Amino acid sequence: MTKSNKYIIITFLLGCVVFLIGGYFFNDFNSGNIKELVTKFAFYQLYAFVLGYSNMMFFDYMERRSWEKSTPATIQRVVIGILGSTIITLIGLFFLRAITAIYYFNQSFSDFLGNQKWQNYQFGLWITLSIVIGFHVVFFYNRYQQNRVKEQKVIAGTASAKFDALKNQLDPHFLFNSLNVLTSLIEENPVNAQKFTTALSKVYRYVLEQKNKDLVLVDDELKFAKTYMALLKMRFEDSIIFTMPEKAQNPESKVIPLSLQLLLENAVKHNIVTASKPLKIKIYESGDNLVVENNLQVKQMVKTSSGVGLNNIKQRYQLLTDRTIKINQEPSTFAVSIPMLTKTTTIMYTQSKSELNDQYLRARNHVDELKGFYYSLITYCLVIPFLAYVNYKTFWQVQWFWFPMIGWGIGIATQAYRVFVNNGMLGKNWEKRKMEEFMRNEQTKNN
């Protein structure tokens, strides 16, 4: 359905509602003349179409303009919208009344001007303004909900994209450094270079298989580290002394993939590796951490770091758990401890983190709803007395201020119920309970 057709349908429905309200106040239903009622209904539809369509177009124009996302800008947007709707409504009423008087009642334009009173515009104006205010309330509430959903999607998407970017660094990074090693071997030991090329294909298969995983078993990572160190020993031979356990004490423990390879690579990159000063690397378990330790013999001239390595491990762990890696640098040793995550602790943490996020989101949503309720209540207490005063000063015989007061009051009461009532029907915990009930039912069906 196009926007124009949608507006036509809305204006027709509004015309029907206004016809019922106007017929009740002006006793149009007591005449019993069907022809007269049809004529008045046609006039109400004409007025509703002209005023409603013009105000909707103005509302669209206001929405297409760029507005800052701030409270003052929102207030400015509402004030300009209501003032603009008031002017458009008054102008529209004037021309509609003029056309009706001249072409339907055969009056002259001067006679029409002489009969104009403020009371002639009150009904159409307050009806239009009531509808416009209602549109603003619905519009800003929907935009508020959309922004909340968009915000959560952005947070989740940012974390996912960041994690994928970190993982995608591993593939070219590993290949680049392996080719550097191969280049050195070709110059120093062509026979080992050929063996290195064959072994590299097997090692690279592990990289391709594991780099897209969040966690891998420590046993798999230890096995890969042993293979990777064998490749390095083809180049450095006895200049590297390497010790590590065959298996982890807990076969279910996990670490992030290629973490050991990055730490071993950093150790070789930043330290002197010669036959006279061999690099001693030791991998061992310490509590629930896996430690990579080496003797410290820093190179005098170190190439500029690419920024992957240790920072990559830190950032990936930050996105998975609240446990952090630990770096311990002594005068003669350098050690990095990476957390080992078991299935049990990972699930416990995930549930704890999820609960904390849910609690934070619920608390934040409640505060937002509470602020919205107080803003609505303050606005209600200011606007309704003003409308009653305008009604009293203009045309007190028709006390139209009751309509916005009652309608808006019902909205305020509904909003207060949702904010302050916890366990009642449609209370703030009702949605959560229904979702949990639905999930339990689905799980029962699947089982």
User: Residue 104: helix, strand or coil by DSSP?
Assistant: coil
What are the DSSP calls for 343-391, one per residue?
A: HHHHHHHHHHHHHHHHHHHHHHHHHHHHHHHHHHHHHHHHHHHHHHHHH
Q: For residue 362, is it within any domain?
A: yes
- Sign (positive/negative) of CA torsion 185, 189, 194, 195? negative
Q: For residue 299, is it within any domain?
A: yes
Q: For residue 154, is it within any domain?
A: no
**225 and 325 in a common domain:** yes
Name the CA radius of gyration of the chain, rounded: 37
Residue 362, amino acid: R
pLDDT of residue 428: 55
- CATH code assigned at 218: 3.30.565
pLDDT of residue 338: 92
**CA–CA gap between residue 58 and residue 55 (Å, rounded):** 5
| Count of the separate structural domains present in the chain | 3
Q: Give the range of the structural domain holding residue 57, as residue numbers without chain letter.
A: 1-116
**106 and 11 in a common domain:** yes
Given a contact cutoff of 8 angstroms between Cβ atoms, the answer to whether 125 and 89 are in contact is yes
**234 alpha-carbon distance from chain centroid:** 51
**CA–CA gap between residue 196 and residue 199 (Å, rounded):** 5
Q: For residue 140, is it within any domain?
A: no
- Residue that finishes a domain, picked among 341, 372, 392: 341
* Mean pLDDT per 10-residue section of the chain, whose length is 447 residues: 71 78 67 74 82 82 73 75 84 86 84 80 77 74 70 56 50 65 77 78 74 81 86 80 90 86 84 89 92 88 57 76 86 91 52 49 68 77 78 74 79 76 58 64 64
pLDDT of residue 430: 60
**CA–CA gap between residue 262 and residue 75 (Å, rounded):** 54
Q: For residue 14, is it within any domain?
A: yes
**331 and 184 in a common domain:** yes
**88 and 48 in a common domain:** yes
**359 and 336 in a common domain:** no
**111 and 42 in a common domain:** yes
**414 and 335 in a common domain:** no
**99 and 187 in a common domain:** no
Q: For residue 39, is it within any domain?
A: yes
- Residue that finishes a domain, picked among 341, 372, 406: 341
Q: For residue 132, is it within any domain?
A: no
**239 and 224 in a common domain:** yes
- Residue that finishes a domain, picked among 341, 365, 386: 341
**373 and 237 in a common domain:** no
Q: For residue 20, is it within any domain?
A: yes
Q: Which two tokens stand for residue 204?
A: 């690279």
pLDDT of residue 349: 40
**278 and 177 in a common domain:** yes
**185 and 278 in a common domain:** yes
Q: Which two tokens stand for residue 99?
A: 């056309």
